[in-house]
């Protein structure tokens, strides 16, 4: 492959229909180098079908998919690491045998040093000779994740990677995902857990009923859906303030809802001019979960 890659993954106008049911309808997005990209949406929205088309497990009815600047072929697939939502490992193989075998399937010679380094990273080195069937569910999840990255892929696709993990191992996987991004890897991350998306992702695509309903940088999306309100922690009564259309108490904080014409700075100036001491003044933005619920509801109507 010659020249610089514009995007690690490019999905253009893909469509997939089963019978009379449109599962994916004209979806387009791109994933940049060294980016964590969130693919979100309600159950049955079309996320997993989109991922399966990217992996060439199912074929799109129309549209185009390019990975690392090329159409999918066997060599390109070997540069992808895929953690499916439906987990599955060979139960009779040991942990080491599993990782070496799956690495070899991706065209990489088994490397016991890399295998042991990864096992040590997730606290599983002492279990390397155990059979998969002897592991707990959480331990099996960690091995499945390592199997996804054992061959050092350039693109990592994770479908519900934290399902079944305890909080400690969830944090461990998040650390490794951030490390992968730091190495220049690109990660596509599909989950229902909006707090994880908010914490990890640079950009997102939200799908509902097979259609794209939200796409872009997370910070831009949150700014777009903010309520034009501010949280204030002040010593004393605020009294009447120009351009404030509603006031709500939230514990020790007061949330001031502003009219569409007034910037937050103008309200802060009014409060300070009254001689009131302000301990905290913060422009509020909705959580991704709140945006998710709002957009999913709007697109379903």
Hey, what domains does the chain have and what are their CATH numbers?
A: 1-79+154-221 (3.40.50.300), 85-152 (no CATH), 227-284 (3.30.70)
Contacts of residue 22, Cβ cutoff 8 Å, sequence gap at least 6 = 15, 16, 210
132-184 pLDDT tens trace: 999 998 899 999 999 999 999 999 999 999 988 899 999 999 999 999 999 99
Q: Give percent of the chain with pLDDT exceeding 70.
A: 97
34-84 pLDDT tens trace: 999 999 988 888 999 999 999 999 999 999 999 998 888 888 889 999 998
Spacing of C-alpha 79 from chain mean position: 20
84-118 pLDDT tens trace: 887 778 899 999 999 999 999 888 887 888 999 99
Question: Cα-Cα-Cα-Cα dihedral of 127, 130, 134, 138, to 10°?
Answer: 30
210-230 pLDDT tens trace: 999 999 999 899 888 877 888
Burial class (CB in 10 A: 0-12, 13-18, 19+), 78: middle
The model carries a pTM of 0.83
């Amino acid at each position: 492959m010659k020249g610089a890659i514009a995007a690690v993954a490019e999905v253009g106008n893909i469509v997939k229909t089963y019978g009379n049911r449109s599962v994916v309808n004209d979806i387009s997005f791109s994933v940049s180098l060294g980016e964590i990209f969130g693919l979100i949406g309600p159950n049955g929205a079309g996320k997993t079908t989109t991922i399966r088309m990217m992996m060439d497990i199912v074929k799109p009815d129309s549209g185009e998919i390019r990975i690392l600047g090329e159409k999918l072929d066997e060599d390109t697939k070997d540069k992808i690491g895929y953690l499916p939502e439906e987990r599955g490992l060979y139960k009779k193989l040991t942990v080491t045998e599993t990782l070496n075998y799956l690495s070899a399937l991706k065209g990489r010679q088994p490397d016991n040093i890399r295998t042991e380094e990864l096992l040590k990273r997730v606290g599983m080195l002492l279990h390397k000779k155990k059979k998969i069937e002897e592991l707990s569910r959480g331990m099996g999840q960690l091995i499945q994740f390592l199997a996804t990255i054992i061959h050092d892929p350039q693109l990592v696709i994770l479908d519900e990677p934290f399902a079944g993990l305890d909080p400690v191992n969830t944090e461990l996987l998040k650390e490794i995902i951030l490390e992968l991004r730091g190495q220049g890897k690109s990660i596509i991350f599909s989950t229902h857990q909006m707090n994880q998306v908010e914490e990890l992702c640079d950009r997102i695509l939200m799908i509902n009923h097979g259609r794209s309903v939200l796409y872009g940088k997370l910070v831009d999306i949150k700014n777009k859906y903010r309520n034009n309100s501010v949280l204030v922690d002040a010593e004393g009564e605020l009294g009447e303030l120009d351009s404030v259309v509603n006031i709500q108490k939230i514990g020790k904080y007061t949330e001031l809802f502003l009219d569409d014409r007034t910037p937050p700075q103008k309200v802060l100036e009014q409060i300070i001019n009254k001689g009131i001491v302000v301990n905290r003044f913060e422009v509020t933005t909705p959580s991704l979960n709140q945006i998710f619920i709002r957009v999913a509801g709007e697109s379903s109507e």
